[in-house]
Chain A
Amino acid sequence: MEHTSLLERILRGMALTLVVIFFMFPIVWIFMMSFQTNETILRIPPQLIFEPTLANYTALVTGKLMTAAGTLDIAFMRNLWNSVFLSVTSVAVSLLLGVPAAYAFARHKFRGSEDIAFTLLSFKFAPALLVLLPLTLYFQKLGLANTYVGLIWVYQLICLPLILWIVRGYFEDIPADIEYAYRIGGHSWFATFRKIALPLAGPGIAAAGLLAFIFAWNNFVFALVLASADKQPVTVGALAFITSSGIQYGQISAAIVLSITPTLALALYAQRYLVEGLSLGAVKG
């Protein structure tokens, strides 16, 4: 680093700025739009200076959407709650099922173990729409359509393979001898799993859980088909802003800001632990 010339530093700074602008612009623009009315948003040319309004947020929180054609009821807060509930529960169920399974796949090679693991992964290959049609029919027969249980179940298709495969890799990276050392010291395999394997794979489990959470949160098509208004997450709920009297850009922006906030906060929070966990050298010999 100390050998970089001034020119090099300037060029690097410019390159970084470009990259940051490229990635941050949509988010910043949406953030700005969320404080504007439809009129100021659609002004040509677009203006950087405007009078901020909280009307969009108020509309979302109160659930009353004012349009040119009158007042509409929207269930945005309900949707937000649905998103939180569905994502958190799905990831929790996936972790509960996936982490022990990942451990089993990592530590015990049994007949067909690779096949089972691959089958679980292959759930991610199938196009969601292909799976959805038969699934909808089954779910209607079983009475699972439009229930939280049914949705969480389907969300396992998103979360479980992800968690299983990421966490499995982390378990495989832990030298088996560390666990043996613990077991020979007078502990059962379950205690070893809890006290040695889980903490050592902790960063990996956190990363997988976070990723699964984001995927679950961003899911659109499963919820669109399988859930009605009161079970819908924000991704589907945002459709409500496309009204008969026009698209409510301001509210959509506000909704987006509100809906990315939890994932963003979670990612920023967990990032610290992820880096810490990985740099601790838990897996180093």
Chain B
Amino acid sequence: MSQSALTISGVDKFYGPIDRGVHAVKNLTMEIGKGEIVALLGSSGCGKTSTLRMIAGFEEVSRGAISVGGRRVHTLPPVKRNVAMAFEGYSLYPPLTVRENMAFALKAARLPKSEVDAKVASIAKLLEIEDILERYPSSISGGQQQRASLGRALIREADLHLLDEPMGQLEPQLRAVLRGRIKHFIKERGLTAILVTHDQTEANALADRIAVMEGGVLQQFDTPDQIKERPANLFTGTFVGEPPMNVFEAYVATAAGRINLKLPDGLSLDYDKDAFSAPVRDQLLSRERVVIGIRPYAVRRSKEGVPARVSANQWLGDQTHIAADFAGGSLVLVEHDRTRLDLGAPINVTIDPKNLHVFDQASGKAISHGMELA
């Protein structure tokens, strides 16, 4: 990571006239090191694909600058940027076979035929498309087209590999296998890759760092662990993680050496003052209202604790997802054993303050994660 492979500084994207059109990407700044795999994660319309297409040169940069390997590229045509891309819509050339599609860019780079053949063979093996190399794009399935398109991007030697939803069409088993192989392939060759995805499992599995985007704004750019454990704001907290984080508004009250987080419906989470670290306690006490977030894995059932009522109970084969009516909303908890609970059954839950994420009520910014300040 000594060298920067991609620098995006202060980039805005407007569709339509600047400052009046649709503001798809807002003041985006990020730096990606050489050999890094970065995932742009977000829901549809969050600006992740716009960002990718600006890097590739298919969309104009309305404001700001993009550099690849230290070269400013945002005014160059795509051909001069030296990036490779796998398209969400595959975009294979219909008159060419899968093999020709993959070999295409290499032939343009005037590589000897034997080398081209060897590369195509190795990539085809990696992606398990050896048996369809001689077929035409229109005669193969969506998943096969997607792998061919991915192969066409990976086979090239470029400063940057851009992968737009590279595995969306694949079956789950194959996806899991290919994720591992592709990551190994990219790391082994020291390639730098940016993938756009709305699948957080894919982002977690492949990426060194994840950039979470929403509403055209970069919400957080960090390692998968950090994003999970220390979400920068309410959006990242609830967006990343499966099942999503439980979120409740709470009033902070103190009484007799205890801190009460008063929830709707007259419920409250009651903690000893010393259960929190000093800085977190100070932060909590300086506020009247906060938003608390609890991961489903951190909710425990216990004899004493706050009452809730089971509203759904799903055994997923390896874990149980229990949803319960709680504090005017719904609380989801995950248990690793098969739990038999009827609908409407009363349960009591406790939440360890170590697992409490606290967010600012107005801005949604994280205040603390467990015992540490954000």
Interface set of A (CB-CB < 8 Å, partner B):
175-178, 180-189, 196, 199-200, 280-285
**Is the Cβ of A177 less than 8 Å from the Cβ of B79?**
no
Whether B10 sits at the interface, judged by CB under 8 Å, is no
Could you list 19 examples of A-B contacts with CB < 8 Å?
A177-B87, A177-B88, A180-B78, A180-B85, A180-B91, A181-B87, A181-B91, A184-B83, A185-B104, A185-B105, A185-B108, A186-B109, A187-B79, A187-B108, A196-B93, A199-B95, A282-B95, A285-B89, A285-B90
Bound Cα distance from A182 to B104, whole angstroms: 9
Bound Cα distance from A199 to B105, whole angstroms: 18
A187-B79, A284-B138 as given contacts; A182 in contact with B93, CB under 8 Å: yes
Contacts of A189 in B (CB 8 A): 77
Bound Cα distance from A185 to B91, whole angstroms: 12
With A178-B91, A285-B90 already in contact, 14 other A-B pairs whose C-beta atoms are closer than 8 Å: A177-B88, A178-B92, A180-B87, A180-B91, A181-B87, A183-B78, A183-B79, A184-B79, A184-B84, A185-B84, A185-B105, A280-B138, A281-B138, A285-B89
Minimum-distance CB pairs A-B, first 4: A177-B91, A185-B105, A281-B138, A181-B91
**Is the Cβ of B79 less than 8 Å from the Cβ of A186?**
yes
Bound Cα distance from A199 to B96, whole angstroms: 12
**Is the Cβ of B58 less than 8 Å from the Cβ of A180?**
yes
| Nearest A-chain residue to B139, judged by Cβ | A281
**Is the Cβ of B93 less than 8 Å from the Cβ of A178?**
yes
Contacts of B152 in A (CB 8 A): 181
Contacts of B105 in A (CB 8 A): 185-186
Whether B74 sits at the interface, judged by CB under 8 Å, is no
**Is the Cβ of A186 less than 8 Å from the Cβ of B91?**
no
Interface centre among A175, A178, A189, A282 (most CB of B within 10 A): A178
Within 8 A of A (CB), among B16-64: 56-58
Contacts of A187 in B (CB 8 A): 79, 108
**Is the Cβ of B89 less than 8 Å from the Cβ of A177?**
yes
Whether B346 sits at the interface, judged by CB under 8 Å, is no
| Nearest B-chain residue to A282, judged by Cβ | B94
**Is the Cβ of B91 less than 8 Å from the Cβ of A188?**
no
Contacts of A188 in B (CB 8 A): 77, 79
A175's contact among B58, B81, B89, B138, by CB below 8 Å, is which?
B89
Whether B295 sits at the interface, judged by CB under 8 Å, is no
Smallest CB separation, A199 vs chain B (Å)? 6
Bound Cα distance from A238 to B338, whole angstroms: 92
**Is the Cβ of A184 less than 8 Å from the Cβ of B56?**
yes
| Nearest A-chain residue to B149, judged by Cβ | A181
Contacts of A177 in B (CB 8 A): 87-89, 91
**Is the Cβ of A181 less than 8 Å from the Cβ of B85?**
yes
Interface centre among B77, B84, B91 (most CB of A within 10 A): B91
Contacts of B84 in A (CB 8 A): 184-185
Bound Cα distance from A285 to B95, whole angstroms: 13
| Nearest A-chain residue to B94, judged by Cβ | A282
| Nearest B-chain residue to A199, judged by Cβ | B95
Whether B156 sits at the interface, judged by CB under 8 Å, is yes
Bound Cα distance from A282 to B138, whole angstroms: 8
**Is the Cβ of B156 less than 8 Å from the Cβ of A180?**
no
Within 8 A of A (CB), among B102-139: 104-105, 108-109, 138
Bound Cα distance from A89 to B91, whole angstroms: 36
Bound Cα distance from A189 to B56, whole angstroms: 14
B108's contact among A180, A186, A281, by CB below 8 Å, is which?
A186
Bound Cα distance from A285 to B78, whole angstroms: 23
Contacts of B85 in A (CB 8 A): 180-181, 184
Smallest CB separation, B150 vs chain A (Å)? 12
| Nearest B-chain residue to A187, judged by Cβ | B79
| Nearest A-chain residue to B88, judged by Cβ | A177
- Interface residues as binary, B326-358 with A (CB distance below 8 Å gives 1, 0 otherwise): 000000000000000000000000000000000
